[in-house]
Amino acid sequence: MNIVEIRTKGIGSNFSVVNPHDGYRKDNRLWFGECSECGEMVSSSSMSAKYNGWTHTLTKKISETGFQMTSIEYCPKA
């Protein structure tokens, strides 16, 4: 299955994507949708060589003013 099929069918690793749609530029680089398991926003980016599908973004506070964001290919709440 290629990235186009994964995006348009909303196929995640342990979740589905509700309402998958192309980002505001409409150039197939960045897609958005909603996770079927937790309801959070998920994305799919052609600019990330590491991921070939939908990802959740985890945000971790590392200091009083700083945060670390990590993309994961599974739903952490499923």
Whether residue 22 is contained in a domain is answered as: yes
> 28: domain range?
3-72
Whether residue 78 is contained in a domain is answered as: no
Q: Give residue 16's identity as a one-letter amino acid code.
A: S
Q: Give residue 78's identity as a one-letter amino acid code.
A: A
- Kindly tell me if the per-residue pLDDT of 52 is higher than 70: yes
Determine the average pLDDT of the residues in 26-31.
92
Q: What is the pLDDT of residue 78?
A: 87
- Kindly tell me if the per-residue pLDDT of 49 is higher than 70: no
Whether residue 77 is contained in a domain is answered as: no
As a whole-number percent, the residues of the chain with pLDDT over 70 amount to 99
Task: Report pTM.
Answer: 0.84
- Kindly tell me if the per-residue pLDDT of 50 is higher than 80: no
CA distances from 31 to 4, 14, 62, 69, 73 (A): 10, 18, 28, 18, 14
Looking at the structure of the chain, the number of domains it has is: 1
Token pair, residue 67, equals: 């945060």
